[in-house]
Amino acid sequence: MKTSYTKTARITESASICTGSGFLFSILVGTDNTNDPVVAAYDDTDATTAANRIIPSVTYDASVLGLNGVVMQFPKKFTTGLYIAIANIGSGEVVIDYRQENDLFPYKFI
């Protein structure tokens, strides 16, 4: 029995995660302890306009005193698609948990 409809994507560079509507639940940023990555999320299939940004650009401190591996949790709705922009990630990675709207209620009620 499937109990969760959350999808997970692991990326090391900017990428379109999905198209269509849904919800962004969390972003986990794993750094390489050297580079300070910059991450932003867009309600779009690319990062061409700041007006579509649903999570502002955030720079993560990769030092020992920084927020290495920080988890941001929030249900943020997107309608066009989900695009995650990443800069200066080095050998780190970003893990995104999201759900597409069609996956919210997989059963039809008659």
The edge-to-edge listing of strands for the beta sheet with 71-78 is 7-11, 93-100, 22-30, 71-78
- The two tokens of residue 4 are 């969760």
Average pLDDT of adjacent 10-residue blocks, the chain of 110 residues: 73 96 91 89 89 88 67 83 94 92 58
The pLDDT score that the predictor gives to residue 68 is 58
**Phi, psi of 27, deg, nearest 5:** -130, 125
pLDDT at residue 1, rounded to an integer: 43
How many domains does one find in the chain? 1
Residue span of the structural domain in which 32 resides: 13-101
In whole angstroms, give the CA distance from residue 78 to residue 84: 12
- The answer to whether residue 40 is domain-embedded is yes
| The pLDDT value given to residue 48 | 78
Tokens of residue 95, six digits:
């893990």
CATH assignment of the domain containing 78: 2.60.120
